[in-house]
A and B are shown apart, each in its own frame.
Chain A
Amino acid sequence: MYTDKVMDHFENPRNVGELEGADGVGTVGNAKCGDIMKMYIKVADDKITDIKFKTFGCGAAIATSSIATELVKGKSVKEAQELTNKAVAEALGGLPPAKMHCSNLAADALKKAIDNYLGLETKNECEDHHHHEHNDFDHGCSI
């Protein structure tokens, strides 16, 4: 059901943990949904110099968090802002359809961390995120 790349990131997640003195922190999801992602970033000279995550959720949730940190580490803030959930899923060689909308929130968590760094207020988007897309063919672990 999962690609080798997903399994690799699930088994050996990159950049797990918290960052002390993080410049930005962002959380999406809630435990009721079944997925919570928390991203920590450090920024210097407009670059993401360090990034870590903590995730409660299924295999896809952990793998997307892990690869998202890899994709933006060392990139500029602007580049990081452009990362989409779709791009994260593609970088993993795809996700099962049921997982596309529920466990694929890493880019959203990153955006919130960046907003936090930039001093912008955002609300937890779990509810919105999880209710507009689902139908009988498109449900998964966190809706």
Chain B
Amino acid sequence: MTKVYMDNGATTPVDPKVIEAMQPYFSEVYGNPSSFHSFGREGRNAITEARDKVVELIGADYTKELIFTSGGTEADNYAIKGVASALEAKGKHIITSAVEHHAVLHTCKYLEKRRGFEVTYLPVDEDGLVNPEDVKDAIREDTILITIMMANNEVGTIQPIAQIGEIAKEAGVTFHTDAVQAVGTIPVDVNELNVDLLSLSGHKFNGPKGVGALYIRKGTRINKFMHGGAQERNRRATTENVPAIVGLGKAAEIAMEGLEQKQEKLVSLRDKLISGIEERIDHIKLNGHREKRLPGNVNVSIKYIEGESILMKLDLAGIAASSGSACTSGSLDPSHVLLSMGLTHEVAHGSLRLTLGKYNTKAEVDRVLEVLPKVVADLRSMSPIYNG
């Protein structure tokens, strides 16, 4: 059975060129970058080279503005907790949105519950968009941080980050964006976006897992997250994960070279998939904004059936996807993103996310379009709430 992987929003396969670049950094170039000798120097040089590439990918001005982390989640935690602790004397109010990734939401909840912060969770419209005016209205004297994601991991909606950044800048409030789903897939420029802090993750754009980065604009007040050695300009202690950092650098280089081509390809596959589903299956709803949307994201609610059953049937046919149903979210409720967009529980339970990556093909989209309608018809024939 040919397998089709359409869960690139969860993770992506590592590009063979990335693996090749990483290979020497396990047993050949293994020195600790903090060491004085030539072995250490080689490691240091590799990190410098990788940093240059990532800095270039996000349009940062200085290499010292980029700190490598263990991934997107750590970058989000570092940004939010780091700013909160640096500025808590100034104020204890944070603005975020209701549709953030849990790495942001749960960090904010922690500050709220354990550290006495107040957090405003801005609502979104039916497409999942934050209204920049709402951000403006929510800013108070004691607001120290605004954190709004660049692109939503579930529904793909791209937020007006540059506009929100402008508002934050005018108000003098530090602005962080979780750009984990965006970097390496759509153009990201920290200056155009007016962000002070930006999180990214390697494995979302064909780099290795376990590595990411936090961009910290020069002059941003933030406390360190990991205490110990003086690595990463004394901001993030721990011996650098050199092979992973090299891999992230290579992935950034590849992404930068092929960004336009990748975008075009994904948009064409995505739109074929969306229109194909809309033609073949009735009683469905596209979740997320139709145009302001990640190039590889398809998210539909298929009414009268439940998400986990859809995933199981697809999995049996070799197709990997994901869902925002409670069953698959591992919580009591279906996706907080879909509920925040105003979907009812029953429609949210029937959501299906197909996320395309650079290795997906037209033939794979055709395969999904062949299998999915059968899966839906089959489950609907069993559904007591479906009346033909």
A residues apposed to B, CB below 8 Å = 10-11, 13, 16, 27, 31-38, 54-59, 61-62, 98, 103, 134, 139-143
Contact = CB atoms under 8 A, between A and B. Distances in A.
A140 B333 CA distance: 9
12 contacts: A16-B381, A31-B345, A32-B346, A34-B334, A38-B384, A55-B383, A55-B384, A58-B307, A58-B309, A58-B327, A62-B309, A98-B330
B326 A57 contact: no
Contacts of B321: none
Nearest to A18: B384
Contact of A10 (B312, B326, B328): B312
B349 interface: yes
Nearest to B385: A56
Nearest to A32: B345
Given A31-B349, A140-B326, A58 B382 contact: no
Nearest to A37: B384
Given A31-B346, A36-B384, A139 B309 contact: no
A142 B312 contact: no
Interface in B307-332: 307-309, 312, 316, 325-328, 330-332
Nearest to A38: B384
A31 B386 CA distance: 12
B304 interface: yes
Contacts of A34: 306, 325-327, 334, 345-346, 349
Contacts of A13: 382
Contacts of B306: 34-35, 56-58, 61, 141
Q: Which of B330, B345, B382: most chain A Cβ within 10 A?
A: B382
B382 A62 contact: yes
Contacts of B344: 32
